[in-house]
Amino acid sequence: MQSIEKELLKAKQKIKDAKNLEKQKRYKEAAKAALEAAEILIGVAKNDKVNKKLKEQLQERVGKIIVWVKMLKDAITLESPPKEPEKATMVAYEPEIKSLYIIYEDGTPIYFYVANNMILDPTLVSGALTGISTLIKEITQTGTGVKKIDYGDGEIILEKGKKITIAAFTSSPTQEMRNRITKFIKTFEESYGDVLENWDGNLSKFKNLEEKIKNMLLCRHAHCNNR
């Protein structure tokens, strides 16, 4: 148990460091420290000596850290120079999807979409989401993994296929949105089955992916492919 207590103290110090860095507006460093704390907690939760109650507490703590990291990344965005406004397109969003990530089974991001020209690190976020999904799957032992994570003004919807996971940050979660994501995963894995089987990290192999995502996940007009 001493090693567990030692790891918990290490995680506590990382969180303390992250909070201090946040106060200094060093948001990127704060996010890194917070994720390091989450990784330590995930490692502790996997220990067979940890009881069920503590695992549940660790699950809740890691979930809060993930949300905190997203807020830190949003803070980085606010300090970044604004981009030139893009021309209006025919794509509309209903309900609002703040950001969307397609994550390969090893945690590598295949694609990410962020609304309003926000700037986020897809590797950082997808790695964090993969970590918490794996952790809670082991804790609950349901075999289904995490389906959603609540945060301040919405939810993170998580849907898993055979080779990919989609994570959608949304302020207005609906069953219709989840159905779209499930349908897209099936279509995606059928379209790129050979690529996904032994993917080497080459994103150029996913041809026409942007168009498929807009039509099936983001567009609500009658001409969209999923209508």
Nearest to 31 by CA among 12, 17, 47: 17
Residue 158 to residues 13, 122, 145: CA-CA distances in angstroms? 30, 15, 9
Distance CA 52, CA 55 (A): 5
Residue 159's SS3 state is strand
Q: Are strands 154-160 and 164-170 parallel, antiparallel or unpaired?
A: antiparallel
Asked whether residue 33 carries a pLDDT value surpassing 70, the answer given is yes
Hey, where are the domains in the chain? 1-80, 90-227
pLDDT tens track for 169-208: 887 778 888 888 999 999 999 999 999 998 988 888 888 8
Model-level pTM greater than 0.85? no
**Domain 1-80: assigned CATH number:** 1.20.58.80
Token pair in block for residue 2: 């001493």
End-to-end CA distance of the chain: 56
Residue 8's SS3 state is helix
Stated length of the chain:
227
Tell me the backbone φ, ψ of residue 60, rounded to 5 degrees.
Answer: -65, -40
**Domain 90-227: assigned CATH number:** 3.30.450.70
**Strands of the 154-160 sheet, one edge to the other:** 109-114, 97-104, 164-170, 154-160, 148-151
Residue 180's SS3 state is helix
Weakest-pLDDT range from 35-44, 140-149, 151-160: 140-149
Please compute the mean of the pLDDT values over residues 220-226 and round it to a whole number. 46
Q: 2-23 and 52-79 are packed helices; what angle lies between their axes, rounded to 10 degrees?
A: 20
